[in-house]
Structure 1
């Protein structure tokens, strides 16, 4: 009898054959190959056991820097694998492990976790310092933006008058604040009365159109009318009326030249004629001299 047949007929092998498939000791590469929740939970449990062993090793003070880096990269892979098994368990209808947050002794910098003694490495210390500075700067910028938005909202709530922008005297702006009780912008009628009182008897150069007059002149209730077109037509009509008024008030005067001006012009013409004749004579003499 051969050796393989003896192994197959041993009691231990016969026991395992009757018992059924054994518990797998290696996890599959892809989580999609697992179709049952029980197997997925078993593989997740195996990942957790490997993570516990690696965490105990990385905190050992006797290991060197290279072993620390290898263990840290191995722990990152195990955590990613555990996360993949948790997603697979949820997809298969099992318990949702993703909602539970595990408080492990880790520090995450730009997507990479650092455990135990890996945080004491010099390059990791520099990364930690840069991340703290960046976090503090982001917090400060967020607070500045928040304060700026709050101040803008407060300014929008206030009703700022002309005195706030320095358009009125101090006495007038203070009286206006006291009289109104709040910061208010003067109305069109008040501004028009102030302009008329300042000019006195002088007439305004162009007629001032208030908002009420413009509203009465337009007819927005008419169906099919466009408000923008009406405003443009009204402005053109006002411009034409102002231009006609200017033409009638200041007509151009036509000046007729006097006899002295005509006499001076005839004298100038005679001088020019004499100069032309002299120039022609000179040209003829030069031509005759050449012959």
Structure 2
């Protein structure tokens, strides 16, 4: 009994479904060209339909397990629908509707950063990659940023940051150096004052001894003349160095040098010999030598 009821129920369901489909209007097909549409509402309806198709395909392309070929086909289909959507958006603007291109989505890389999409044709958006298609071989490199090259600093950039602090002229401004050097400064100042007082005491005693005619001890004289002795030794050392430099500058000639007349005579004789070798024959030279021998002429 239950079996027959199920059959009747299924037949009834099929009958109701067929009647409902008969009442429906035939499914409209989207026009191939957007320029064929004359109604703004129709144009907006077809745009919404394209948007739904893009959404389904974008959700499907997120699956990385579809394979490289299927991902590339899906990405091509999405780009085709995007171009078609741009045609319908331009048609909507022509029919007096809103401009949807102002609020269109931007292209992003793997990190979510907005990327400029190149389009050589200059019409509509360029080719885009979605979902797992961004990780395909040859596509990932398009979204990777080139490594930043470290710019080499020029000499001007180096010297531009050099100021008084670089040379240590502002080390005293923070007060640290003053606190560190304060004990050493007090110690050196005390030692200098003590040495000055001792030398003043020695000079005072020496003056008293000179006025009274007394003999001053050797130790006192030694301390008194210590500084003057250093000055004398330093002066003598400078004098010796000065004399040594002057001696090095002197140039002593150990070979007698000819004067101007002798040099001129040597040049004339040399020119004469060159002319004789050039124009005189051997017989003429021999006759000239014999004549000089007879006349007892020596050159």
TM bucket normalised to smaller? 0.3 to 0.5
Higher relative contact order at CA 8 Å, sep ≥6: structure 1 or structure 2? 2
TM-score by length of 1: 0.36
Bigger Cα Rg: 2
